[in-house]
């Protein structure tokens, strides 16, 4: 495959709970930015914080 071929990249957001430290991954949505507070934790109802935004390239 040549480098000029189009590849599909999917963006994800990594979240961590401030209370129980559980990690979750979800698809990126507009308005996400690192170190912002997001939704509530599904386990302990604490606040989730965005820790990383990354992309995965499919061949």
Report the percentage of the chain scoring pLDDT > 70: 93
The continuous run of DSSP H or E covering 16 comes out as strand 8-17
CATH top class, domain 10-58? alpha beta
For 29-54, write each residue's pLDDT tens digit: 999 999 998 789 988 989 999 999 99
Distance CA(37)–CA(2), nearest Å, equals: 40
Q: Would you state the structure tokens that stand for residue 40, as one six-digit string?
A: 């509530």
Domain boundaries, the chain: 10-58
pLDDT over 70 at 12, yes or no: yes
């Amino acid at each position: 495959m040549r480098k000029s071929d189009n590849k599909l990249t999917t963006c994800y957001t990594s979240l961590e709970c401030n209370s129980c430290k559980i990690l979750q991954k979800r698809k990126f949505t507009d308005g996400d930015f690192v170190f912002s507070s997001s939704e509530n934790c599904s386990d302990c109802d604490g606040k989730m914080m965005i820790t990383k935004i990354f992309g995965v390239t499919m061949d």
